[in-house]
């Protein structure tokens, strides 16, 4: 099918001037257009007129558009206007919606480019979508078509959900009367697959569960060659865990997905607000994990090679030392390591002395350099001191163990 409206043509008696085709979906073409009356750009969504004819369609479409226009929320694409346009060539009029233009890209494009998203990015997106769903459900509007292509990402990172209720207007199910598939069945809830008309908000929560699964794993939970098989899996196959796909997330995330993807709506979150609270708790835990000051006994590579500027400095628990004191503290480490190595290799000290001195050296190295984070040194001197201290700790640990082994051997022999 060609373009429903040509670039440069106008719609609604000259009010909207079509400037460019933004994209096409299963049911519509979306154009960028200029609202000549208000002097701003908008998105004009023209519904395909070659879909099976239904006389009640236009009325339902207008009614749904009015409901959508009543949804005013920062995470919902606002609907400004609706109408039907008679085209020059005749034929059935083309129903259209005029919406807020979201400059940016859709979540579908982001996922196509990135594959999957880290938890710290996926959870805030889910939260924004849930905020949109909570507002819509409170007004009795079920989205019915939550999927990546319907989540638009504005340039400032705000997620905006588009196409509220459109699927209901089009009467879309997995299979049309002629067996043709409209849209993707991958995000449909089991009750949608069954073709039930009395859907409630929990159907959207299932679709959001699929979306979150897709964001975190890079794939949908159920995929197959035919729409029928995907629909069957939604109805009867338990969703895989992320762990079974080799993706490690906290257990609470797996539980949240399992609950969102429950076959029976009664087993899902009761409403968007409840699911939002659960996602919020996960996001908070994830946030705390990311910014948690490391416990004193933890020592990792990051301590040896601190990133130049990224993470904020860890809180300083103790007063800072001067660089001179720091370097003086370092002398015993070097001496004791040298002593431990020589004593060990030449057998110039008794096993007990080796054990005690090495253990003391290990404790001092750990206490003075590895445990603390109030170093007055910066840059490469600090990295060098820490690296040598770490090596010293290993040498002391090994000689202390060797000393213990010698003591045990002596005890057994005696
Ligand atoms: N308000 C908008 N602002 C900017 N771009 C939009 C807007 N609405 C839709 N688009 C773009 O137009 C494309 C087509 O949207 P459309 O809703 O017709 O298709 P879809 O969501 O991919 O599929 P479906 O027909 O199944 O809903 C989208 O991929 C999106 O990038
Ligand atoms: Mg869409």
CATH of the domain at 2: 3.30.200.20
Using the mean position of ligand 2's atoms as its centre, give its distance from the Cα of residue 365 in Å: 61
| Structure confidence at residue 54 (pLDDT) | 65
What atom in ligand 1 is closest to the CA of residue 100? 1
1 and 85 belong to one structural domain: yes
Q: Is residue 282 part of a domain?
A: yes
The H-assigned helical ranges of 175-250 are: 190-193, 201-217, 227-236
- Give the residue carrying structure tokens 């040509």: 6
Check if the beta carbon of residue 213 is closer than 8 Å to that of residue 221.
yes
| Structure confidence at residue 91 (pLDDT) | 75
Which tokens belong to 50? 């070659």
Q: Is residue 305 part of a domain?
A: no
The burial of 15, by beta-carbon neighbours within 10 Å (0-12 exposed, 13-18 middle, 19 or more buried), is given as middle
95 and 122 belong to one structural domain: no
107 and 88 belong to one structural domain: no
Label each residue of 95-129 as H, E or C. EEEEEECCCEEEHHHHHHHHCCCCHHHHHHHHHHH
Q: Is residue 409 part of a domain?
A: yes
Residue 362 has phi, psi (to 5 degrees) of -60, -45
| Structure confidence at residue 175 (pLDDT) | 41
Rounded CA separation 111/117 (Å): 8
Kindly state if the Cβ of 99 falls inside 6 Å of ligand 1: yes
128 and 152 belong to one structural domain: yes
248 and 374 belong to one structural domain: no
| Structure confidence at residue 204 (pLDDT) | 97
| Structure confidence at residue 307 (pLDDT) | 47
| Structure confidence at residue 318 (pLDDT) | 35
Rounded CA separation 115/125 (Å): 15
Check if the beta carbon of residue 164 is closer than 8 Å to that of residue 143.
yes
Output the residue whose Cα is nearest ligand 1's atom 11.
23
- Picking from 101, 125, 146, the residue at the C-terminal end of a domain is 101
| Structure confidence at residue 169 (pLDDT) | 60
Residue 263 has phi, psi (to 5 degrees) of -65, -40
| Structure confidence at residue 278 (pLDDT) | 97
Could you report the per-residue pLDDT of 394-406, keeping only the tens digit for each? 888 888 888 788 8
Output the residue whose Cα is nearest ligand 1's atom 9.
30
Quick one: which ligand is closest to 32's CA? 1
| Structure confidence at residue 48 (pLDDT) | 77
Residue 287 has phi, psi (to 5 degrees) of -65, -45
The burial of 97, by beta-carbon neighbours within 10 Å (0-12 exposed, 13-18 middle, 19 or more buried), is given as buried
Quick one: which ligand is closest to 99's CA? 1
| Structure confidence at residue 55 (pLDDT) | 66
35 and 53 belong to one structural domain: yes
Q: What is this structure's pTM?
A: 0.69
| Structure confidence at residue 117 (pLDDT) | 97
The burial of 79, by beta-carbon neighbours within 10 Å (0-12 exposed, 13-18 middle, 19 or more buried), is given as buried
Q: Is residue 22 part of a domain?
A: yes
Q: Which of 19, 22, 158, 192 to mutate to test the pocket of ligand 1 (most atoms within 8 A of CB)?
A: 22
Range of the domain at 234: 103-292
Q: Helix, strand or coil for residue 138?
A: helix
160 and 288 belong to one structural domain: yes
134 and 253 belong to one structural domain: yes
Q: Is residue 358 part of a domain?
A: yes
115 and 96 belong to one structural domain: no
Rounded CA separation 30/10 (Å): 14
The pLDDT profile of the chain, 414 residues, written as one tens digit per residue, is 688 899 999 999 999 999 999 998 877 899 999 999 999 999 999 987 666 666 667 777 777 788 788 899 999 999 999 998 987 777 778 889 999 999 999 999 999 999 999 999 999 999 999 999 999 999 988 999 999 999 999 999 999 999 887 766 655 444 444 444 455 799 999 999 998 888 999 999 999 999 999 999 999 999 999 999 999 999 999 999 999 999 999 999 999 999 999 999 999 999 999 999 999 999 999 888 777 665 554 445 554 554 444 433 333 333 345 666 667 777 777 777 777 777 777 776 777 787 787 777 777 777 776 655 555 565 666 677 778 888 888 888 888 888 788 888 888 887
Rounded CA separation 406/400 (Å): 10
Output the residue whose Cα is nearest ligand 1's atom 19.
25
Residue 2 has phi, psi (to 5 degrees) of -75, -170
| Structure confidence at residue 380 (pLDDT) | 61
- Give the residue carrying structure tokens 């290799």: 345
Which tokens belong to 155? 């340039």
Instruction: From the candidates 35, 54, 145, 264, give the one annotated as an active-site residue.
Output: 145
| Structure confidence at residue 372 (pLDDT) | 55
- Picking from 70, 101, 132, the residue at the C-terminal end of a domain is 101
Rounded CA separation 299/390 (Å): 9
Q: Which of 152, 185, 188 to mutate to test the pocket of ligand 1 (most atoms within 8 A of CB)?
A: 152
67 and 108 belong to one structural domain: no
116 and 254 belong to one structural domain: yes
The domain tally of the chain equals: 3
Rounded CA separation 65/98 (Å): 10
Rounded CA separation 261/267 (Å): 9
Q: Is residue 314 part of a domain?
A: no
Could you report the per-residue pLDDT of 145-192, keeping only the tens digit for each? 999 999 999 999 999 999 887 766 655 444 444 444 455 799 999 999
Other CB atoms within a 10 A radius of the CB of residue 360 amount to 14
Has 200 been annotated as catalytic? no
Q: Is residue 206 part of a domain?
A: yes
Q: Is residue 312 part of a domain?
A: no
Kindly state if the Cβ of 22 falls inside 6 Å of ligand 1: yes
Rounded CA separation 78/152 (Å): 12
- Picking from 73, 101, 129, the residue at the C-terminal end of a domain is 101
Q: What is the CATH number of the domain that holds 192?
A: 1.10.510.10
36 and 164 belong to one structural domain: no
Q: What's the gap between Cα 148 and its chain centre?
A: 12
Kind of pairing, strands 94-100 and 79-85?
A: antiparallel
| Structure confidence at residue 315 (pLDDT) | 35
Output the residue whose Cα is nearest ligand 1's atom 16.
25
């Amino acid at each position: 099918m060609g373009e429903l409206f040509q670039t440069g043509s106008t719609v609604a008696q000259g009010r909207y001037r079509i400037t460019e085709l933004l994209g096409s979906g299963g049911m519509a073409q979306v154009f960028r257009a200029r609202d000549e009356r208000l002097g701003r750009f908008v998105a004009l969504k023209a519904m395909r007129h070659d879909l099976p004819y239904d006389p009640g369609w236009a009325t339902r479409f207008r009614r749904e558009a009015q409901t959508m226009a009543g949804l005013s929320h920062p995470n919902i694409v606002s609907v400004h206007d609706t109408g039907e346009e008679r085209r020059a060539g005749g034929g059935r009029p083309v129903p259209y919606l005029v919406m807020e233009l979201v400059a940016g890209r859709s979540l579908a494009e982001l996922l196509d480019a990135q594959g999957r998203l880290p938890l710290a990015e996926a959870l805030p997106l889910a939260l924004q979508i849930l905020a949109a769903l909570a507002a819509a459900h409170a007004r009795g509007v079920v989205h019915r078509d939550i999927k990546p292509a319907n989540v638009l990402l504005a340039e400032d990172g705000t997620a905006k959900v588009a196409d509220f209720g459109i699927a209901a207007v089009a009467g879309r199910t997995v299979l049309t009367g002629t067996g043709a598939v409209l849209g993707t069945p991958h995000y449909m809830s089991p009750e949608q697959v069954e073709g039930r008309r009395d859907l409630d908000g929990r159907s959207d929560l299932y679709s959001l569960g699929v979306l979150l699964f897709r964001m975190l794993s890079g794939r949908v939970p159920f995929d197959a060659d035919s729409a029928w098989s995907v629909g069957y899996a939604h109805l009867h196959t338990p969703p895989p865990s992320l762990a079974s796909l080799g993706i490690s997330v906290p257990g609470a995330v797996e539980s949240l997905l399992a609950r969102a993807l429950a076959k029976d709506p009664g087993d899902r979150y009761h409403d968007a607000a409840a699911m939002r609270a659960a996602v919020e708790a996960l996001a908070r835990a994830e946030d705390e994990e990311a910014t948690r000051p490391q416990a004193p006994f933890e020592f990792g590579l990051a301590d040896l090679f601190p990133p130049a500027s990224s993470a904020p400095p860890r809180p300083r628990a103790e007063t800072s030392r001067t660089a001179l004191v720091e370097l003086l503290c370092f002398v015993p480490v070097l001496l004791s390591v040298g002593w431990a190595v020589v004593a060990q290799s030449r057998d110039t000290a008794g096993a007990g002395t080796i054990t005690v001195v090495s253990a003391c050296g290990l404790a001092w190295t750990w206490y003075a350099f590895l445990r603390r984070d109030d170093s007055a040194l910066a840059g490469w001197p600090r990295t060098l001191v820490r690296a040598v201290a770490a090596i010293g700790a290993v040498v002391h640990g090994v000689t202390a163990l060797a000393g213990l082994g010698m003591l045990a051997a002596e005890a057994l022999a005696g």
